[in-house]
Structure 1
Amino acid sequence: MSRAFVKEDGPDNTPLPDLPISPHPNLVTPRGLADLQARLLATQARLRALRAREDRLDRLPEAAAERDIRYLEARIASAILVDPAAQPLDEVAFGLAVTVEDEAGRRTVWEITGEDEAQATARRIAPQAPLARALMGARLGEKVVWTRPAGEVTLTVTGIARPE
């Protein structure tokens, strides 16, 4: 085949733009760091499999994997490990689980984790989340005000523990 018909430069060969990196310090728990490392290994394996394909006409999946690897490597390199086991339990801090009670008496446990580990459905929130900002530094029995789009909620800190 003539080189004239081979597509060497084009959108499939251009690197994808990097994923945005948070401007905040990259605090991570041991679980969060292990998760980042596992995600990096899995993405590297996926890239190897993509490069081993017989038919490599579509390079977009490879570019996406390369972009994800750059992101994960940057997050691991900037990680500031905070071990919850070393945190005192006298006030709410990064890496700890906090039990709060709202005005209606409903109790909820939230864990303050790194941004990459945060997942609201698992009740894990990043330190930059409005709820985490309201809770950080609070002591047992203290009331905090959580400002939400739906209005303010007063919460009482009823427990501070290390996550299980």
Structure 2
Amino acid sequence: MNKAFTKEEDGTTPQRLPDLPISEHPNHVTPRGLAQLKARADKLEAEIARLRANRDYMADSYPLAVAERDLRYVEARLASAILVEPPEDPPGHVSFGATVTVVDEDGIETSYTIVGEDESDPNQHLIAAFSPLARALMEARVGDVVEWPRPSGLVELEVLAISFEG
């Protein structure tokens, strides 16, 4: 294509970054996860307003482009959110939103909470519902032994307790 017909960045218009990929998984969220998404949207809106109010933002529009891209992502996640309230009468099995205490083959007890994708944080033992560990635990009952497929091999976990926040 002739160079005369292409638009180059001239620094006068803010750049638009490509959108972040949206997961193909259903966007189930806990009440806490929904609140976190809303708080993140509010924070991003404030950051965008601050950047736009700064007269020098055109000199470096990248921070604004990042904040706008992130806000588009969070708004899409909010629009597709499926709120899953904790059950009033907890079922006797593991389901979305459950905190599950397990013991492994070495006798080490750990608790995991099954949450939505945006709320997951493995370091805090918040695991996404479609993760291998959550899938292994789903529908398990206290006393059940489940097999968790890990790259290092199968790990057997015994379910000790199931609880729901709320």
Structure-1-length-normalised TM-score:
0.91
Question: Do the aligned partners of residues 95 and 87 (structure 1) sit closer, same or farther apart at CA in structure 2, a change above 3 Å counting?
Answer: farther
What residue in structure 2 maps to residue 4 of structure 1?
Answer: none
Residue among 145, 154, 157 paired with 2:156: 154
Residue of structure 2 equivalent to 1:27: 28
Shift of 1:128: 1.0
Q: Of 130, 133, 144, which aligns to 1:131?
A: 133
Contact 1:111/1:163 (8 A) holds in 2? no
Task: Identify if the C-alpha distance between structure 1 residues 137 and 128 changes in structure 2 by more than 3 Å, giving closer, same or farther.
Answer: same
Alignment of 1:1-164 (within 5 A): 10=9, 13-56=14-57, 57-86=59-88, 88-163=90-165
Partner amino acid for 1:160? I
Q: 1:65, 1:47 → 2: CA distance?
A: 6
Deviation at 1:104, TM superposition (A): 1.3
SS in 2 for 1:55: helix
Query: In the superposition, relative to structure 1, how do residues 150 and 86 fare at CA in structure 2: closer, same or farther (>3 Å)?
Result: same
Structure 2 SS opposite 1:31: helix
Q: Aligned partners of 2:16, 2:141: CA distance in 1, in Å? A: 48
Provide the aligned length of Structure 1 versus Structure 2. 157
User: Runs of 4 or more off by more than 2 Å in structure 1?
Assistant: 11-14, 85-89
- Give 1:66 shift: 0.7
Query: For the Cα contact (< 8 Å) 2:90–2:164, is it kept in 1?
Result: no
Cα 1:11–1:129 shift into 2, 3 Å:
farther
Q: For each residue in 1:140-159, what CA deviation from the matched residue of structure 2 results, as whole angstroms up to 9, or x when unmatched?
A: 10000001001110000010
**Cα distance between partner residues in 2 of 1:143 and 1:84:** 24
Unaligned residue ranges in structure 2 (runs of 5+): 1-6
Identity value in percent = 52
For residues 51-110 of structure 1, what are the alpha-carbon distances to aligned partners after superposition, in whole Å with 9 as ceiling and x for unaligned? Answer: 111212111111111101110000000000001244623000000100001111111000
The C-alpha deviation readout for 1:18-64, integer Å capped at 9, x for no partner, is 01100000000000000000000000000000011121211111111
The one-letter code sitting in structure 2 at the alignment partner of 1:44 is E
Distance 1:85 1:134 in 2: 21
TM, length-normalised to structure 2: 0.90
Letter in 1 for 2:96: F
Residue ranges of structure 1 left out of the alignment (5+ in a row):
1-7
1: CA distance, partners of 2:128 / 2:98: 12
